[in-house]
Structure 1
């Protein structure tokens, strides 16, 4: 961030998320979501080029539409209970869950890595918390959207060559799992969000340092241990047993209260996502036994990121469960 005023927008973004988490009525929730949107948009401009301006407009219009639908349905739901379903649609539109994700991949494709990381992680917290406060009668449409997101995110990532597009469709798939975890214990939702953010943090820290955009650049380096750690982290994001990402998905399947068809759809979506992650990292993992590794090849920063993304969430899970 080149200018100090970006700290103000970071503060607005963080405080608005706290406002949504602590709100007791729909008006405060709506205000928190609006401040969250307005705090994030200036952070999208790092190089101040035309692609970032285009991404800001593509982000602003669906978010404003979702906020309008949300506050209108919240007001009218006092008289017409059936309109509460529109609140679910509004929040899923802001969240970027399928089939309301039409704005999400184009915005991600036009952003730099740091704003893209914020959009994938922090900007999901406020809508997810708003959805978790909905009436239990609205769980049926939420679970349906969760299944569609998991399937769509898995299928959409199959033909992607840009690493940000791949992580975008992975985020759509993980959004489905987050929505499914709403219908279980609150601690599972919080643990899933924390795990997802930590894993993405390690991946985006690596991508920012190496300036990587495509699959071919991802594992082309003279430091094999660094890329082996990256491969394990990506597979954890995909949910490969027995890594932390798989454990979080297993906890959601164990404790969520939904129909078997929804669980089956979540599993199919996770398997498809794992397929393109395995195809992405397969050559690196096969060639790892031929590498001559030394202690100097593992830098402290990468080791810390790897431990944070894998061991720390696992420790928290064992502590609470």
Structure 2
């Protein structure tokens, strides 16, 4: 298992460090094959249907990206590349596969899908010299995608599908960050993985993938989950607050307004999960139960200091 994960990280860094578009595309295709092997290792937890959907979507996205590279090289047309990247990232108008794939996957697969597997595509968005029309189209897709993620998560009781809509919302923030500056995107992406990846590992301990099953959870993780979900919602002084504040200062009023509206709406379903986790136990019983519990609490509180250290 560690061999496949190491190969996955290696090919991703090969993709983002290459200066040749054919190499970027080929390394991205190899990453897809390696990730399918990783999903096969979790065959007991991850459904075959979700893995098949993800493989088909990524394959179609790779075809669009390859066609886009050729169209841009010979004709200067960027739209095929734009559509291919949006499809691979699961951003409007190709957002429908994200909640479906997340709903049938394991928590470890969800963490990889929402972080590592999107890194190379976001880097292509960040380093490519887009025309003004494509640039504003990306921004429009990010705004619509954030609203879909916020409103779509309100009626979800399945934890995995809810995290799929949360991924849509955070994908919009990541897209705006990648369009803003490569360095800003890398730092924001790193802190996102550091702070929120641990939430998925805590949620992996739940037998029933439902929000209400947290109330009857045999493992008492009320404090770590509650703190981690407040951080995901962007409450100060937790980890995601300086990330959002920095992007708010660098964006236009319309973009910032839509993203902040979406974040405010998403607070409702974050608090739903957080309160369900809180009622599963008491504050005094869950101070430092295991490594991941203490990790979530420490990172959520001390994450802002780590963020300002990078800047």
Do both proteins adopt the same fold according to a TM-score greater than 0.5, normalized to the shorter chain? yes
Local SS of the residue matching 1:98: coil
Q: Which moved more, 1:98-107 or 1:41-50?
A: 41-50
Partner of 2:270: 277
For each residue in 1:252-297, what CA deviation from the matched residue of structure 2 results, as whole angstroms up to 9, or x when unmatched? 11124xx432222111111111122123334666x79x95726x85
Alignment of 1:113-152 (within 5 A): 113-137=107-131, 138-152=134-148
Local SS of the residue matching 2:179: coil
Superposed displacement of residue 105, structure 1: 1.6
Closer, same or farther: CA 211–70 of 1 in aligned 2, 3 Å: same
Distance 2:26 2:57 in 1: 16
- Is the contact made by 2:187 and 2:310 (CA closer than 8 Å) also made in structure 1? no
Superposed displacement of residue 11, structure 1: 2.6
Superposed displacement of residue 222, structure 1: 7.1
5+ residue gaps, structure 2, are: none
Partner of 1:236: 231
For each residue in 1:227-266, what CA deviation from the matched residue of structure 2 results, as whole angstroms up to 9, or x when unmatched? 122111012112122211122111111124xx43222211
Closer, same or farther: CA 188–219 of 1 in aligned 2, 3 Å: farther
Partner of 1:293: 284
Partner of 1:166: 162
Cα RMSD (Å): 2.5
Superposed displacement of residue 20, structure 1: 1.8
Distance 1:14 1:210 in 2: 28
- Is the contact made by 2:71 and 2:80 (CA closer than 8 Å) also made in structure 1? no
Q: Which moved more, 1:172-181 or 1:208-217?
A: 208-217
Q: Of residues 182, 186, 189 in structure 2, which corresponds to 1:186?
A: 182
Q: Does 1:61 align with 2:56?
A: yes
Distance 2:43 2:307 in 1: 41
Distance 2:111 2:52 in 1: 18
- Is the contact made by 2:178 and 2:185 (CA closer than 8 Å) also made in structure 1? yes
Distance 1:168 1:235 in 2: 17
Partner of 1:214: 210
Q: Of residues 234, 241, 249 in structure 2, which corresponds to 1:246?
A: 241
Distance 2:112 2:195 in 1: 13
Q: Does 1:95 align with 2:95?
A: no
Q: Does 1:14 align with 2:14?
A: no
Local SS of the residue matching 2:235: coil
TM-score between both structures, scaled by the size of structure 2: 0.90
Distance 1:119 1:7 in 2: 17
- Is the contact made by 1:154 and 1:170 (CA closer than 8 Å) also made in structure 2? yes
Partner of 1:3: none
Superposed displacement of residue 16, structure 1: 1.5
- Is the contact made by 1:55 and 1:106 (CA closer than 8 Å) also made in structure 2? yes
- Is the contact made by 1:195 and 1:309 (CA closer than 8 Å) also made in structure 2? no
5+ residue gaps, structure 1, are: 1-5
Closer, same or farther: CA 297–268 of 1 in aligned 2, 3 Å: closer
- How many residues are matched? 309
Distance 2:200 2:207 in 1: 10
Superposed displacement of residue 124, structure 1: 1.5
